Amino acid sequence: MKDLKLDILNRADDDIIDSLVPFSSDDKKTKKRILAMSEKKFAELQRGSESEKDEISVRGVEQYRRPVWYKPLCAAAALVIMAGGFGMFKFMGRTSGRQFAEGDPDKAAATTEAETTTAAETTEAITENTTDITGDASVNLNGHTFEELKGIADSLLPHYIEARNLYSEEYIDMRGEQLKVNSSYFKVDMIYYKLNNPNFSSYDELKNYYGQYFIDPERSFYCFNVGNDLSVLENDENIHAMIEYNGELYVHENLTATVPDYAAVEPIAEKPSQVRENSFEWQRVTPHQADDDYLYGDESYVCIMDMEILKDDDGVWKIASCQPSSTEKDSYDFNSDFPMGSIEKEVSERTNTDYDTVYDTVKAYLKSEYNYTGKLSWGFCDELYDGVEIIEENYVNNKNWMICTCSENLNGGGILILFLDENGTIFGKKITH
């Protein structure tokens, strides 16, 4: 059997490793390889996660809300290379107890879809009756009002929830039509269930449908077209979350947990940020729901939806990204003016520029060079990662650098990391695979 491509998996817990064992003909070898994954690689993919003593120091400010599905996603990513933004596999169910509780850095799960913010050092307990933080609805926000932005976000969030649950058990008939593929590569039988959706049956129809609500549906919903020949999957080194066979869609048996309809839950806080003429970010906070098998938490937790919304070329507002996460209610700073935490303040204090300028510079670069419109995470570092390509020689080399990481894969695959100096100049980049 060929070596599995496990470079993306790092510091896996035993339960994750055990989930991978059935895919290997040599359990001990696989476990040793998994445990030997590079700590530095893990740090890069965490996009601003906690620093280790023997790692590059990354002092990010987006670190405290970490949904429990990160490590299951890492396990899936080692095998399921081609899954798209919504194609996470369900290797684990709802985590019980405090296995991944905050404060246990060796167990804490970190997000690949949901980027997080630093908790305030001291916060007062927040009750269920927390007042919505909306500010003055009539205040002009770069040509927009709060109520206008809220209306846009509220109209799009239900479509994200619907899309998020496309692969979930609730929406797949596991007793219905299915395909069975004997994978000679993974030495396992793979089952694909037919996707029965009234809005589409083929991949092109899916993209057309979700193209009404998402800037880039192709990035969010990856699909592998096998035509009418399933045998192409038998020796495939990847397990695909979704395939098109004979013009119809099928999804892999390892399905994702269902996300409750948080769009229908009354918010206890809502905050706009990075408001521009054609884009804005929106954070919506609601009580954690008891039937949530996707995000960790209980009645003492809140669910946070971080949305980035853009206008397309036709002037229609659409979702660029949406990242759900959860945290204990008393860890969330309801009084902060900045949903992204203190990154704006830190950029202002530590550099010769400001966050808005840096944000616009990076967004323009990513759109021009990679047609990337997804979410970003930010932090600071004092050392460059191995393999960084210097794209601007005239930069301030004082080890006071900003690091910006794309939270989603590029269309060509891989995660892009950018490095900026204290003047806001993009001088380095690295694409991880």
Q: Is residue 119 part of a domain?
A: no
Q: Is residue 364 part of a domain?
A: yes
How many domains are contained in the chain? Answer: 1
Degrees to nearest 5, angle at CA 381 with 376 and 387: 85
Q: Is residue 406 part of a domain?
A: yes
Q: Is residue 415 part of a domain?
A: yes
Q: Is residue 350 part of a domain?
A: yes
- Identify the band that residue 423 occupies on the pLDDT scale cut at 50, 70 and 90: very high
- Highest average pLDDT, of 70-84, 99-113, 375-389, 418-432, comes from 418-432
| Pick from 51, 1, 47: nearest CA to 27 | 1
Q: Please give the DSSP secondary-structure letter assigned to residue 86.
A: T
What integer pLDDT is reported at residue 53 of this predicted model?
A: 35
> How many Å apart are CA 311 and CA 408, to the nearest integer?
19
Residue 88 has pLDDT above 70, yes or no: no
Percentages (nearest 5) of helix, strand, coil residues in the chain = 25, 25, 55
- Phi, psi at residue 243, to the nearest 5°? -130, 155
What integer pLDDT is reported at residue 98 of this predicted model?
A: 27
Q: Is residue 427 part of a domain?
A: yes
Q: Is residue 113 part of a domain?
A: no
> How many Å apart are CA 230 and CA 208, to the nearest integer?
25
pLDDT tens digits, residue range 151-162? Answer: 999 999 999 999
Mean per-residue pLDDT over the chain, rounded: 73
> How many Å apart are CA 339 and CA 336, to the nearest integer?
7
- Identify the band that residue 168 occupies on the pLDDT scale cut at 50, 70 and 90: confident
Residue 52 has pLDDT above 80, yes or no: no
Residue 121 has pLDDT above 90, yes or no: no
With tokens 């070596």, the residue in question is: 3
| Pick from 72, 64, 56: nearest CA to 13 | 72
Q: Which two tokens stand for residue 237?
A: 């080194």
Give the residue numbers spanning the domain of 424: 342-433
pLDDT tens digits, residue range 320-335? Answer: 988 888 989 988 877 7
pLDDT tens digits, residue range 248-281? Answer: 999 998 887 888 999 999 999 999 988 988 999 9
The reply to whether the predicted model has a pTM over 0.85 is: no
Question: Using CB atoms within 10 A of its CB, is residue 275 exposed (0-12), middle (13-18) or buried (19+)?
Answer: middle
> How many Å apart are CA 90 and CA 112, to the nearest integer?
15
> How many Å apart are CA 6 and CA 72, to the nearest integer?
13
Q: Is residue 56 part of a domain?
A: no
